[in-house]
């Protein structure tokens, strides 16, 4: 657990918040430009200090009254939009410098070079690199230091979507905790397991990805699905998820593991136990009604899905009356559209 309690005055606002972040997975810090995201990250890194700040990581107290552990003793890696690579040496020497400091092996260095596709860049000087190349190398160098905590502040701003998704997938597979600052909702949906929303130096809300979807202006649920290695030809699905088996055409995704956004507006109630034929390839999930609330011209059903996630489904009043639904009823929902994030 990373426990943060900050109270300091900055140039244009006060940074005043209390936040606990999990010591595993990717925690996203989300908010508009100038919200205080980078200042929060700098405080965690030990680059900002104030007498009222308190920062503790796992069993290590990094900052408290009369206590301040300097940045270089916190075993963190901090990557920003700026590369801060050494300009007087080439790419390979930049990487070797980080590897030597952390006593990373030659095999570990070679693995990073291959995973970040840096083979053709190793002999180049920093001033001959594009902005995106610098950002890839900065992240690779940071990981070679073998940090116990990785801080990322808009690290992929110069990369295209495909490169960004590739690196986010890579980071998602790491065991180290990562704090990822971004204002891009799609990036957060793609990688985060926990989200904290910051505005004007204050914490607005924090929670798991599905708990925070509404704060990202989404009404739905995100699930993880794994591709079946050898799906049989007569099956109407090729992915397995916590909500059941799902079918995605190959043009949507062929990745082994994906995240899928199921939005409430794409769900339709289907007669329970109605069987879809193999040729239909309909995606169905089950849910149970918890509460029913009247909302102006429609009725809102609060549902619990098979993975215990809560979801709200809106029905027109006439449709609701036709269905004759009540709390406790089990529903079968047809997913009209799956969105891979």
Q: Look up residue 29 and give its two tokens.
A: 């810090």
3-state class (DSSP) for residue 6: strand
CA distance 138 to 283: 42
pLDDT of residue 139: 96
What is the predicted pLDDT for the residue at 257? Answer: 87
Instruction: Show me where the domains of the chain are located.
Output: 2-216, 220-340
Contact 137, 95 (CB under 8 A): yes
* Strands, sheet with 239-241, edge to edge from the N-terminal-most edge strand: 244-246, 239-241, 220-227, 257-263, 339-340
Domain 2-216 -> CATH class? alpha beta
Same fold, 2-216 and 220-340: no
CA distance 40 to 4: 9
Structure tokens at 192: 């985060």
Scan for tokens 């901090």, then name that residue: 78
The answer to whether 190 and 167 have CB atoms below 8 angstroms apart is no
pTM here is: 0.88
- The tens-digit pLDDT sequence of the chain (341 residues) is 899 999 988 777 889 999 999 999 999 999 988 889 999 999 999 998 888 899 999 989 999 988 999 999 999 999 998 888 999 999 999 999 999 988 888 999 999 999 999 999 999 999 999 999 999 999 999 999 999 999 999 999 888 888 999 999 999 999 899 999 998 899 999 999 999 999 999 999 999 999 999 988 899 999 999 988 655 555 556 889 999 888 887 777 778 889 999 999 999 998 665 555 555 568 999 999 999 998 878 899 999 999 999 999 998 888 888 888 899 999 999 999 989 98
End-to-end CA distance of the chain: 27
pLDDT at 237: 63
CATH topology of domain 220-340: OB fold (Dihydrolipoamide Acetyltransferase, E2P) (2.40.50)
- Give the residue carrying structure tokens 């995240």: 259
Contacts of 126 (CB under 8 A, 6+ apart): 83, 85, 86, 87, 89, 90, 91, 94, 134
């Amino acid at each position: 657990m990373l426990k943060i309690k900050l109270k300091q005055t900055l140039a244009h606002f006060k940074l005043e918040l209390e936040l606990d972040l999990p010591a595993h997975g990717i925690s996203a810090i989300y908010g508009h430009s100038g919200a205080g995201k980078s200042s929060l990250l700098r405080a965690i890194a030990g680059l900002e200090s104030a007498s009222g700040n308190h920062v503790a990581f796992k069993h290590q107290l990094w900052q408290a009254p009369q206590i301040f552990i300097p940045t270089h003793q916190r075993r963190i890696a901090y990557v920003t939009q700026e590369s801060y690579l050494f300009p007087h040496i080439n790419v390979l020497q930049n990487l070797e410098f980080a590897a030597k400091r952390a006593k990373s092996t030659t095999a570990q260095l070679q693995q990073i070079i291959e995973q970040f596709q840096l083979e053709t860049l190793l002999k180049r000087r920093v001033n001959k690199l594009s902005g995106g190349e610098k950002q890839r190398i900065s992240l690779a160098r940071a990981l070679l230091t073998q940090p116990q905590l990785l801080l990322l502040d808009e690290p992929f701003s110069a990369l295209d979507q495909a490169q960004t998704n590739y690196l986010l997938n890579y980071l998602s597979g790491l065991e180290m905790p990562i704090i990822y600052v971004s204002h891009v909702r799609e990036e957060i949906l793609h990688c985060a397991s926990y989200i904290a929303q910051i505005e004007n130096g204050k914490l607005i809300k924090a929670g798991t990805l599905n708990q925070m979807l509404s704060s990202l202006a989404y009404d739905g649920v995100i699930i993880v699905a794994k591709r079946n290695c050898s799906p049989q030809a007569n099956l109407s699905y090729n992915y397995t998820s916590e909500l059941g088996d799902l079918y995605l055409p190959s043009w949507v995704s062929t990745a082994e593991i994906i995240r899928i956004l199921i939005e409430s507006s794409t769900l339709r109630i289907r007669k329970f136990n109605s069987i879809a034929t193999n040729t239909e390839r309909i995606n169905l999930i089950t849910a149970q009604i918890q509460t029913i609330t009247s909302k102006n011209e429609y009725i809102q059903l609060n549902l619990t899905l098979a993975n215990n996630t809560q979801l709200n489904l809106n029905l027109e009043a006439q449709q609701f009356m036709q269905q004759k639904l009540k709390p406790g009823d089990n529903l079968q929902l047809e997913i009209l559209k799956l969105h891979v994030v």
